[in-house]
Amino acid sequence: MAMRNKKIYVVGHKNPDTDSICSAISYAYLKNEIDDKEYVPKRAGQLNEETQFVLRYFNVPVPTYINDIGTRVKDIEIRETKGVSREISLKRAWNLMKELNVVTLPVTKHDRLEGLITTEDIAEAYMDVHDSKILSTAHTAYKNIIDTLDGELVCGNEEAYYTEGKVLIAAANPDLMENYIEEGDLVILGNRYESQLCAIEMNAGCIVVCDGANVSLTIRKMAQEHDCTIISSPHDTYTVARLINQSMPISYFMSRENLVKFRTDDFTEDIKGIMAKKRYRDFPVEDIKGHYAGMISRRNLLNADKNRIILVDHNEKSQAVDGLENAEILEIIDHHRIGSLETMAPVYFRNQPLGCTATIIFQMFAENGKEIPKHIAGLLCAAILSDTLMFRSPTCTQVDRDAATKLAAIAEIDVKEFATQMFRAGSNLKSKSAEEIFYQDFKKFSQDSINLGVGQINSLDADELEEIKGKLESYLDKAYKEHGVDMIFFMLTNIINESTEVLFLGNGAEELLAEAFDADVEGGSVILPGVVSRKKQFIPPIFESISDR
């Protein structure tokens, strides 16, 4: 039986920046050091150039991508019921079901699902079938008949199939038998030599000799000459007659069309409704390549544990990985304003007015008495330098500066030299498309039922920012329509000049910018000197103006 997922994911926000990724990696490392559970860093979006540079510099693998944290079929218990061949008998299928305590067996070939056979199918075959030709119609293998009757082959080919004729019991004397035995019939009889001989001479396809009666050499020779199969069974005539229909292959009764099946990557929330509408107890599961993987039931679904997650560097649902409402949030570590996120149960929520989430995680290493390894120190330092624009941002505190200095010493890097390399790697944007630039750092916010989208790019090069501006002006309308927000803004931040030009779109966006920053807005953009921080210098005045309205 597949084990339930015990991992706990540590994830930053969508369109992650360097702090989001580095904090997720570093906090997962710390939690693994102080806890016996397994913590795994994930990313909820594509990495920007700056973050890629940082991970390469410190030789740290890129966290795997997760687009939805909701529980999937692969996260719940999958009963690994082995698939059976379509050739097995109803009796063998029934015995397997009792042995495995299941009501459904998957029928497979080369690890591909062919159909399903249920206890109800078998019961209907046994109770509702009255056709005496059903055994041949179902193309029953002789080996199935032998197995079902606990018999042995006297003569014939057990790999052959019984394909024509009816089943009958030779209860009359030979004279009367000649009137109702037809070519190809399967005849159940006893030890009477005359009856056996009559059945063979009438070209029966098979005779079943009951009570383990002896079959003479003459009868055997006659059967071979007439191509008649002989099976000997230890059971009496009544038992043989009762059992023989159970030798039919399940292929004749199994369901094979319109099967309700699921994939391992299906979300459990999506399949609940489908399960509720069907009368089946068990449902087959296939992997992403279409190979049979096992069976699940409604009970498995009810007992499914939600995926567990720790959020870093954000606490707003609009910025979080999809499917958050179907996950269990354990912790939130952040340095932004407290947003609209709600949790079903109390969580550990740590929010400090610092320039970077990585600074908080640096503190937590010390609080737990854990040394910070060189590569983790490098990631944390890079995150602080990135979020504070190398201490230029107004969000930067002395606590951030002190943390970065100590981390740089552990990582053995020069702060100014490393930051310059990092920013240049991140501002190499001329070759990128407008869409790639737009989504490097884009977040959604809401205030008083007004929904905003705000993106930001930092660069050391004024000419590069001017070129990017041309690309984004034409792309902004597309992004505005796709996200369905009331207003959209994009910040082109010059790290050297410590200023930002803001592009905007949306009803009332121009007036809002003018009010929030007491600025003259012309030509679809506005330059805001001294504004470099989205979190501390751009969003608060915008929200204040919205509230004043």
Q: pLDDT exceeding 70 applies to what percent of the chain?
A: 98
Question: For 235-283, how does the pLDDT look when each residue is reduced to its tens digit (9 = 90+)?
Answer: 999 999 999 999 999 999 999 888 999 999 999 888 888 888 887 788 9
Of the pLDDT bands very low, low, confident and very high (cuts 50, 70, 90), residue 3 is very low
Answer whether residue 4 shows pLDDT above 70: no
Answer whether residue 5 shows pLDDT above 60: no
Nearest to 76 by CA among 301, 266, 327: 301
Across the range 306-312, mean pLDDT stands at: 93
Query: Residue 166 is inside which H or E element, if any?
Result: none
Q: In whole angstroms, how large is the CA radius of gyration of the chain?
A: 37
Check residue 177 and give its pLDDT.
Answer: 77
Torsion 163-165-170-171 (CA) sign: positive
Question: For 92-122, how does the pLDDT look when each residue is reduced to its tens digit (9 = 90+)?
Answer: 999 999 999 999 999 999 999 999 999 988 8
Domains parsed from the chain with CATH numbers: 7-71+306-426 (3.90.1640.10), 90-252 (3.40.1390.20), 434-548 (3.10.310.20)
Q: For 508, left (φ over 0), alpha (ψ -120 to 50), or beta?
A: left
- Cβ pair 510, 504 in contact under 8 A: yes
Check residue 126 and give its pLDDT.
Answer: 76
Burial string for 162-177 (b: 16+ CB within 10 Å, else e) reads beebbbbebeeebeeb
130-144, 172-186, 485-499: segment of lowest average pLDDT: 172-186
Tokens representing 157? 């080919």
Question: For 371-405, how does the pLDDT look when each residue is reduced to its tens digit (9 = 90+)?
Answer: 999 999 999 999 999 999 899 888 899 999 999 99
Answer whether residue 2 shows pLDDT above 50: no
- 216 secondary structure, DSSP code: -
Residue 492, beta-bridge partner list: 457, 501
First CA to last CA across the chain, in angstroms? Answer: 59
- Cβ pair 432, 387 in contact under 8 A: no
The one-letter amino acid at 531? V
Q: Which spans in 392-528 are helix H? A: 398-411, 415-426, 434-438, 462-483, 509-517
Check residue 537 and give its pLDDT.
Answer: 92
Answer whether residue 172 shows pLDDT above 70: no
Average pLDDT of the chain is: 91
Check residue 129 and give its pLDDT.
Answer: 66
Check residue 199 and give its pLDDT.
Answer: 92
Across the range 184-205, mean pLDDT stands at: 92
Answer whether residue 358 shows pLDDT above 50: yes
Across the range 398-414, mean pLDDT stands at: 97
Answer whether residue 357 shows pLDDT above 60: yes
59-63, 94-98, 447-451: segment of lowest average pLDDT: 447-451
- Cβ pair 81, 454 in contact under 8 A: no
Residue 128 Cα distances to 122, 358, 366, angstroms: 10, 70, 74
Tokens representing 525? 């953009």
